[in-house]
Homo-oligomer: A and B are copies of this chain.
Amino acid sequence: MTYVTFPDNKELDFVAIGRLCIDLNANEINRPMEQTMTFTKYVGGSPANITIGMSRFGLKTAFIGKIADDQMGRFIADYLQRNGIDTNNVVTDRTGAVTGLAFTEIKSPTDCSILMYRDNVADLKLSPGEVSEALIAKTKVLLISGTALAQSPSREAVFQALEYAKKHGAVIVFDLDYRPYTWATPEEVAVYYNLAAEKCDIILGTREEFDMMERFETNPEHSDQVTAAKWFDYSAQIVIIKHGKEGSIAYTRDGASHRADSYPAKVVKTFGAGDSYAAGFLYGVMQGWTLERSMAFGSASACIVISSHSCSDAMPTFEQVSDYIERCERGEIVPS
């Protein structure tokens, strides 16, 4: 059964708006960052990673964002272009903003953390007047990411992008991607996540992220059904709620819930799992696959990324994911 219908005759498959930053990944891992002496630079940011993933799968993609007027910003724009992503709506800041940074600490495959630099970052300075209506008019899908709602004017830029997407019939995907920094209060988080989610067709997030959105509501047992039902009263067709190791569940408007098996992986670190899952899942849905197959494709995509050192650079191709699934099915991959 098809839960979402994508518009025909659009030039682009996928456009994302939001965070563009730099990951500085520890080279010496399995230790605290105090003991890491060298770092490797990658493009980062959840919507950037997803877009890179979609591009690797062969889709036509573009990005809406803002970069610093410095070496880091230029590196990001260049990397996106080299990955086939249209950057005509990637605007350069002229106010002296910096590029957001994420230093990763990998103490063990399951004990990972991030040291963030998010003060005065360029990506949060994207303004609504800089969002191209023409670009959004020609895409099948617009993906928004929660971190872009954290501050003005990026917050307003996202709402304006939603307005354009509604007007031109794009399917809207909301990757909740909540990060505590840069938000003024938890109350703001709840208010703006809810205002945005009302307009979205597909919503993906963890149980904890949905809990945070229900700050002013009544769902004492943190019921997925209560959560999903709320959004079906608005625009949502699919609500995916992730329960960590217990797996993800896709709820649909018809009252059904959908699960997929997960695959084994030789885990290096956990970063990037959600982004590669989202890319794989959305790719499947856009191909008209069942939700179960789409979710499995997302899981395999995530396994590949968490077995690697980077996030963006490790985003797999269709062939890589297909091959990974086959090898798992043949029992060639066992968990670390």
Residues of A within 8 A of B (CB): 24, 27, 32-34, 36-41, 70-72, 74-75, 78, 98, 101, 103, 105, 115, 117, 119-120, 127-129, 133, 152-153, 156, 159-160, 163, 184-185, 187-188, 190-192, 194-195, 216
Q: Give A105's nearest chain B residue, CB to CB.
A: B71
Task: Give A120 to B128 CA distance when docked, in angstroms.
Answer: 26
Task: Give A34 to B117 CA distance when docked, in angstroms.
Answer: 19
Q: Which of B36, B41, B127 contacts A41 (CB 8 A)?
A: B36
CB distance from A174 to the nearest CB of B (A): 16
Q: Give A25's nearest chain B residue, CB to CB.
A: B38
In the bound complex, residues from chain B placing their C-beta under 8 Å from that of A101 are: 101, 117
Q: Decide: A191 near B156, CB < 8 A? Known: A34-B75, A75-B34, A163-B216.
A: yes
Return the 4 tightest CB-CB contacts between A and B, nearest first: A119-B119, A33-B71, A156-B191, A119-B120
In the bound complex, residues from chain B placing their C-beta under 8 Å from that of A195 are: 159, 195
Task: Give A70 to B216 CA distance when docked, in angstroms.
Answer: 30
Asked if B27 contacts A38 (CB within 8 A), the reply is yes
Asked if A160 contacts B119 (CB within 8 A), the reply is no
Asked if A185 contacts B78 (CB within 8 A), the reply is no
Asked if B72 contacts A115 (CB within 8 A), the reply is yes
**Residue of A34, A119, A127 with highest tally of chain B CB at under 10 A:** A34
In the bound complex, residues from chain B placing their C-beta under 8 Å from that of A133 are: 216
Can you pick out 22 interface pairs between chain A and chain B where the beta carbons lie within 8 Å of each other?
Answer: A27-B38, A33-B71, A34-B78, A38-B38, A38-B40, A38-B41, A39-B41, A70-B115, A71-B105, A72-B115, A101-B117, A117-B117, A119-B120, A120-B120, A128-B190, A129-B187, A152-B188, A153-B184, A153-B185, A156-B188, A160-B191, A195-B195
Knowing that A128-B190, A129-B187, A159-B191 touch, tell me 13 more A-B residue pairs with CB under 8 angstroms.
Answer: A27-B38, A33-B75, A38-B40, A39-B41, A72-B115, A117-B117, A119-B119, A127-B187, A152-B188, A153-B185, A153-B187, A156-B192, A160-B216
Q: Give A189's nearest chain B residue, CB to CB.
A: B156
CB distance from A307 to the nearest CB of B (A): 21
Q: Give A72's nearest chain B residue, CB to CB.
A: B115
Q: Decide: A41 near B37, CB < 8 A? Known: A115-B70, A129-B187, A191-B156.
A: yes
Q: Give A73's nearest chain B residue, CB to CB.
A: B34
CB distance from A149 to the nearest CB of B (A): 12
